[in-house]
Amino acid sequence: MITINPLRVGTIYCDKGKTITQGVDNGKMIYVPSVSWLIKTPTEKILVDTGMPDTHTSHSFHYHGSYQLPGERIDQALKINGIKPEEITKVILTHLHWDHCQNGHLLPNAIFYIQKKEIEFARNPSGTYFRSYDHPALGLTPAFEQYPIKELDGDAEIAPGVSVILTPGHSPGHQIVVVHCSQTYVIAGDAVLCYDNLLPSMQQDYVLPGRHKDSAETQKVIEKIIALAGATHRILPGHDEKVFRKKEYF
Ligand SMILES: [Zn+2]
Give the model confidence (pLDDT) of 147-176 as tens digits: 999 999 999 999 999 999 999 999 999 999
CA 243 to ligand 1 center in whole angstroms: 17
CA 190 to ligand 1 center in whole angstroms: 5
Beta bridge partners, 74, equal none
With CA atoms as reference, report the closest residue to 177 among 196, 195, 157, 197.
157
Helix (H, G, I), strand (E, B) or coil at 56: helix
CA 97 to ligand 1 center in whole angstroms: 5
Using DSSP, how many helices (H) and how many strands (E) does the chain show?
Answer: 4, 11
pLDDT above 70 for 63:
yes
Q: What is the mean pLDDT of residues 78-106?
A: 97
**pLDDT recorded at residue 202:** 59
Say how many C-beta atoms besides its own lie within 10 A of residue 182's C-beta: 10
CA 170 to ligand 1 center in whole angstroms: 7
Q: How confident is the model at residue 243 (pLDDT cuts 50, 70, 90)?
A: very high
**pLDDT recorded at residue 203:** 62
pLDDT above 90 for 207:
no
CATH for 3-245, among 3.60.15.10, 3.40.50.300, 3.20.20.70, 2.40.30.10?
A: 3.60.15.10
Q: How confident is the model at residue 22 (pLDDT cuts 50, 70, 90)?
A: confident
**pLDDT recorded at residue 137:** 92
Say how many C-beta atoms besides its own lie within 10 A of residue 161's C-beta: 16
CA 115 to ligand 1 center in whole angstroms: 14
Pair 104, 112: CB distance under 8 Å: yes
CA 26 to ligand 1 center in whole angstroms: 19
CA 42 to ligand 1 center in whole angstroms: 30
Helix or strand holding residue 74 (H, E): helix 74-80
CA 143 to ligand 1 center in whole angstroms: 15
**pLDDT recorded at residue 201:** 66
Q: Cα separation of 3 and 183, whole Å?
A: 10
CA 211 to ligand 1 center in whole angstroms: 8
Say how many C-beta atoms besides its own lie within 10 A of residue 124's C-beta: 11
In this predicted model, what pLDDT tens digit does every residue of 100-129 receive, in sequence order? 999 999 999 999 999 999 999 999 998 889
